């Protein structure tokens, strides 16, 4: 077997472990910064305000209006607060929505970013920013978008509601499933991807059983780091393109959409990438699509797109968009087969 690849590694500092969220101040000073604007969503405002208070003189205050899909008008408000507060870096406390705001600020002014990640979505380790303006979502990549420091403290994920833990964990798995067959994969990204799925596969049922299980929380966050890392390193294919189309066109919730689609997109690609997917096929009992669907069902994850408020007509349109927008995928993207896949996802039926 010949091995050949080009591997661009994203440079960032990862601080992992229980209690590490107390290291935010040290990380701010290690970056040579003096005043951090602490970001969060309105939902996590209390935690973000406490963090800012704990930072004392290292805090430039809070901006707690981070919103899903990073609307540009919110970023503009945050930029004003950043400037008027005399901040020289950002601390994003939260999931992909808050991290997206920190990235959007850094994209505009090169602000160093420290992320305290509290979901499994993986944005904290990617140089990718998706932002929305006039209902249009655009994606940009850049070295200044990648956060400099990521703190993973499992204690901060204990409060992530079980349903969100499950959908966010499946969202993370989706990055890794697509990474194993990515066109620009390499042996290291494949190892990380398989290990990430393995960790989440082990941890999520334990979290459903007991959300305060700190070992399981730690394991899930470790898996999420690996899955996010491969998302930031190799190209994604059918699954991410379909979720992007569905999310962008019908404003569907991010993690739930990924969770519902994953069994169907992986079943679609399995025949064309059987060798690359073999470790995952084994992990899910011999059938990646059916096994993932059974796994999601056992965790009470949402299974049907219909429950998110879309219908057959929307699926026709999504299938049209999927085939008119060519991109690399291990299996050719054919309209009729994609429409069938979308129907099964709409109905929540088990992939064949
Ligand atoms: P989110 O950040 O929107 O979080 C959902 C809700 O849960 C928010 O109200 C948040 O405050 C709350 N929450 C988060 N962590 C919590 C915790 N530990 N305890 C209690 N509440 C908590 O959800 P998400 O799925 O992490 O992020 C979705 C967004 O991230 C989307 O906009 C998506 O496009 C983006 N994203 C981007 C990338 C990338 O690489 N650019 C990767 C993944 C996701």
Q: Which residue has the tokens 């190892």?
A: 191
69's tokens? 């899909």
pTM score: 0.97
- Domains in the chain: boundaries: 13-157, 163-347
Which helix or strand (DSSP H or E) is residue 261 part of? Answer: helix 254-269
The pLDDT of residue 84: 98
The pLDDT of residue 286: 96
The pLDDT of residue 53: 98
The pLDDT of residue 251: 86
CATH topology of domain 163-347: Dehydroquinate synthase-like, alpha domain (1.20.1090)
The pLDDT of residue 2: 86
> 175 CA to middle of ligand 1, Å?
15
* Ranges of H-type helices in 181-253: 187-209, 214-231, 238-250
The pLDDT of residue 327: 86
Check if the beta carbon of residue 150 is closer than 8 Å to that of residue 195.
no
The pLDDT of residue 352: 77
> 96 CA to middle of ligand 1, Å?
4
Integer Cα distance of 223 and 217 in angstroms: 10
Strand ranges for the chain from DSSP E: 13-16, 36-41, 59-66, 89-94, 113-117, 128-133, 136-141, 149-152
Residues with CB under 6 A from ligand 1: 41, 43-44, 68-69, 94-98, 100, 118-119, 121-123, 126, 128-130, 156-157, 159-160, 164, 168, 231, 254-255
Please name every residue paired with 138 in a beta bridge, in sequence order, or none if there are none: 131
From 45, 70, 93, 95, give the residue whose CB has the most ligand 1 atoms within 8 Å, as the site to mutate: 95
DSSP letter for each residue of 19-69? TGGGGHHHHHHHTT---EEEEEESTTHHHHHHHHHHHGGGEEEEEEEE-TT
CATH of region 13-157:
3.40.50.1970
Rg (CA), the chain: 20
The per-residue pLDDT string of the chain (352 residues; one tens digit each, 9 = 90 and over) reads 789 999 999 999 999 999 999 999 999 999 999 999 999 999 999 999 999 999 999 999 999 999 998 999 999 999 999 999 999 999 999 999 999 999 999 999 999 999 999 999 999 999 999 998 887 788 999 999 999 999 999 999 999 999 999 999 999 999 999 999 999 999 999 999 999 999 999 999 999 999 999 999 999 999 999 999 999 999 999 999 999 989 888 889 999 999 999 999 999 999 999 999 999 999 999 999 999 999 999 999 999 999 999 999 999 999 999 888 778 999 999 999 999 999 999 999 999 7
The pLDDT of residue 135: 72
Residue located nearest, by CA, to atom 2 of ligand 1: 95
Indicate the Cα dihedral angle 238, 323, 344, 347, nearest 10°: 110
């Amino acid at each position: 077997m010949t091995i050949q690849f080009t591997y661009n590694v994203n440079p960032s500092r990862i601080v992992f472990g229980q209690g590490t969220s107390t290291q935010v101040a040290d990380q701010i000073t290690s970056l040579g910064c003096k005043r951090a604007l602490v970001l969060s969503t309105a939902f996590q405002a209390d935690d973000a305000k406490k963090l800012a208070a704990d930072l004392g003189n290292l805090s430039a205050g809070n901006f707690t209006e981070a919103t899903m899909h990073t609307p540009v008008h919110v970023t503009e408000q945050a930029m004003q607060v950043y400037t008027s507060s005399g901040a020289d870096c950002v601390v994003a406390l939260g999931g992909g929505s808050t991290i997206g705001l920190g990235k959007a600020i850094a994209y505009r002014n090169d602000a160093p970013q420290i992320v305290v990640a509290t979901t499994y979505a993986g944005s904290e380790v990617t140089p990718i920013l998706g932002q929305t303006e006039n209902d249009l979502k655009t994606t940009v990549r850049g070295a200044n978008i990648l956060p400099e420091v990521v703190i993973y403290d499992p204690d901060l994920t204990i409060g992530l509601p079980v349903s969100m833990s499950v959908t966010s964990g499946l969202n993370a798995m989706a990055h890794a499933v697509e990474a194993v067959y990515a066109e620009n994969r390499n042996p290291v990204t494949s190892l990380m991807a398989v290990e990430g799925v393995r960790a989440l596969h082990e941890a999520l049922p334990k979290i459903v059983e007991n959300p305060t299980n700190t070992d399981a929380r730690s394991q899930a966050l470790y898996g999420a780091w690996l899955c996010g890392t491969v998302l930031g390193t190799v190209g994604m294919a059918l699954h991410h393109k379909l979720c992007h189309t569905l999310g962008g066109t019908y404003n569907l919730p991010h993690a739930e959409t990924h969770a519902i689609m994953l069994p169907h997109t992986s079943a679609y690609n399995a025949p064309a990438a059987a060798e690359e997917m073999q470790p995952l096929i084994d992990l899910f009992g011999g059938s990646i699509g059916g096994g993932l669907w059974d796994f999601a069902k056992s965790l009470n994850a949402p299974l049907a797109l219909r429950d998110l408020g879309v219908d057959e007509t929307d699926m026709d349109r999504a299938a049209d968009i999927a085939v008119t927008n060519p991109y690399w995928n291990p299996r050719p993207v054919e309209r009729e087969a994609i429409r069938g896949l979308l129907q099964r996802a709409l109905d929540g039926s088990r992939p064949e």
